[in-house]
Amino acid sequence: MRIETEDLVLRYGDVTALDGLTLNLEAGKIYGLLGRNGSGKTSLLSILAAFRRQTSGGVRIDGRPVFENGAVTSRISLIRDTGETLDIGNAEDAIFFAEWLRPDWDGDYARSLLDLFGIDPKKNVKEMSKGQRSALGVVIGLAGRAPLTMFDESYLGMDAPSRQAFYDALLADYMAHPRTIILSTHLIEEVSSLFEEVVIIDRGRLVAHEESQTLLARGTAVTGPVAQVEAFTAGLKVLGTRRLGPTASAMVYGDLDDARRAQAAAAGLDLGPIAMQDLFVHLTGGPGAPGAPGAPGASGTGEESPAAELRTGETR
């Protein structure tokens, strides 16, 4: 399903959770939704799932409004961090209820996923551990095959092997049944290989919407002897530097042309990729940065960050 939001605003009393968010997401891709705590991810997903109504602005899914539009919402699934299950009954009951709600439900697939995550169908949901409840939510989200499926940190309670099993299942099922999937996560490095496009929001505003590869191509790790690294990176936008004895690795933001790359090679420097998480940290202001959520004097008037470039130049 295709998603369009226009100048979306959501206020909870005095708190502005979404502050004029305009976004266009094509159908049939896996999107990563990234943002710091309180940046508005859950608020956005809740509006897309029609769990909440926006204060102002427009939301259209496949060209149609979502709020109180059952024909559209039955095709949308949002799995939250607490799973998407009722507290009454066992896993089988939760599955039965989901089947009744979801027109694209695949019961055989749901049973195979219960087995994959080691969930006893007869176990009461109330008696499940946090991780088991998360896994049940994930089963419901995957087997629902909703044309718009969103996971809001829903797999956070699961242990590492279960999360890996979820990522593998998600990718395999998405290849077999393409649909629009949004994954909101703080486990950026763990999930980033799944993302085709990345949406970064900060304080309710769009910071970046890019293909993953394009975003990653904006960062380069320059590694080599400290003096050479310092000389090469002088005048470039350096996001951070790590040192280990005589060796330094600087994270540089921005395109490096062929001449610069040749210069690096001649100086004996290695050029490599940087992690999406590092880009994210810097695009959202870095820990405790001026204007960062919760930082003293956070008012949005802080120093210009790389995000400002993206907002003016590259943001769709």
Ligand X SMILES: Nc1ncnc2c1ncn2[C@@H]1O[C@H](COP(=O)(O)OP(=O)(O)OP(=O)(O)O)[C@@H](O)[C@H]1O
Choosing from 21, 25, 42, 194, the residue that interacts with ligand X (CB under 6 A) is 42
Residue 39 near ligand X by CB under 6 A: yes
Smallest separation, CB 42 to ligand X (Å): 3
Beta-strand relationship, 30-34 and 148-152: unpaired
In this structure, what DSSP letter does residue 312 have? I
Candidates 30-38, 94-102, 132-140, 266-274; binding stretch for ligand X (CB under 6 A): 30-38
Residue 15 near ligand X by CB under 6 A: yes
The nearer residue to ligand X, 15 or 217, going by C-beta atoms, is 15
Candidates 39-47, 90-98, 228-236, 246-254; binding stretch for ligand X (CB under 6 A): 39-47
Residue 40 near ligand X by CB under 6 A: yes
In this structure, what DSSP letter does residue 302 have? S
Reading the block at residue 163, the tokens are 């999360």
Candidates 37-45, 104-112, 213-221, 278-286; binding stretch for ligand X (CB under 6 A): 37-45
Smallest separation, CB 152 to ligand X (Å): 7
- Strand order, beta sheet including 237-244: 237-244, 247-253, 219-225, 270-273
Choosing from 3, 32, 41, 125, the residue that interacts with ligand X (CB under 6 A) is 41
Smallest separation, CB 48 to ligand X (Å): 12
Q: What CA–CA distance (Å, rounded) separates 118 from 139? A: 11
Residue 86 near ligand X by CB under 6 A: no
Residue 188 near ligand X by CB under 6 A: no
Residue 157 near ligand X by CB under 6 A: no
Choosing from 32, 35, 147, 285, the residue that interacts with ligand X (CB under 6 A) is 35
Interacting residues of 229 by C-beta distance below 8 A, sequence separation 6+: 222, 223, 241, 248, 249, 250, 269
Residue 17 near ligand X by CB under 6 A: yes
The nearer residue to ligand X, 40 or 219, going by C-beta atoms, is 40
Residue 301 near ligand X by CB under 6 A: no
Choosing from 20, 28, 38, 286, the residue that interacts with ligand X (CB under 6 A) is 38
Identity at 125, one-letter amino acid code: V
How many residues bind ligand X (CB under 6 A)? The answer is 11
Q: What CA–CA distance (Å, rounded) separates 51 from 77? A: 11
Is residue 79 within 8 A of residue 158, CB to CB? The reply is: no
Beta-strand relationship, 247-253 and 219-225: antiparallel
Which alpha helices (DSSP H) does the chain contain, by range? 41-48, 70-73, 91-101, 107-116, 130-143, 160-176, 188-191, 212-217, 226-233, 258-266, 276-283, 306-309
Q: Please give the residue ranges that form the binding site for ligand X (CB under 6 A).
A: 12, 15, 17, 35, 37-43
